[in-house]
Amino acid sequence: MQREQASPEVEARIRRSFEGQGLMAHLSARITHIVPGRVHFELSGRPEVTQQHNYFHAGATSAVADSAGGYAAFTLFPENTEVLTVEYKINLLAPAVGDCIEAVGTVLKSGRTLTVCHLEVFAVHDGRRKLVANGQQTLIRVKGPEQ
């Protein structure tokens, strides 16, 4: 089933917000796909995001998963609102080894105040994806800055 595309306004709002994320810039993460209720992030492999065994570090894996879920929720929020993570849990299923990792946040339930997302992280090596982490997240919609 093909999901509708995010409107140009929603996509611009997501990208504007993402540009303000210091950690995502520091990690060199990037958004690769935006549709209503679903966002994909990619983080390329390099020594700065790995741990001592050359796997992607759990902190980097968790951070991109958290942000992917947050922006998935944000795609469904009205103008003049923002998103904050209330809690999330990540299960690390396998060492994240590959050229990059891809984090996918998918909205399970969008509410007036709280939204719940499913999080998945895949290691990508030679074009093949392997699920290396999954989790769940709760986010809160808060009032955005006054215009």
Mean pLDDT for the chain overall: 95
Burial class (CB in 10 A: 0-12, 13-18, 19+), 58: middle
Does residue 86 lie in a domain region? yes
What CATH number is attached to the domain comprising 63?
3.10.129.10
By the 8 A CB rule, do 75 and 36 touch? yes
Per-residue pLDDT at 40: 98
Each residue's pLDDT tens digit, 3-39:
588 899 999 999 999 999 999 999 999 999 999 999 9
**Residue 145: CB partners within 8 Å, gap ≥ 6?**
82
Could you tell me which residue, 5 or 43, shows the higher pLDDT?
A: 43
Per-residue pLDDT at 1: 42
- Alpha-carbon distance of 13 to 7, in angstroms, equals 10
By the 8 A CB rule, do 83 and 111 touch? no
Does residue 1 lie in a domain region? no
List the domain range (segments joined by +) for residue 83. 8-143
pTM for this prediction = 0.93
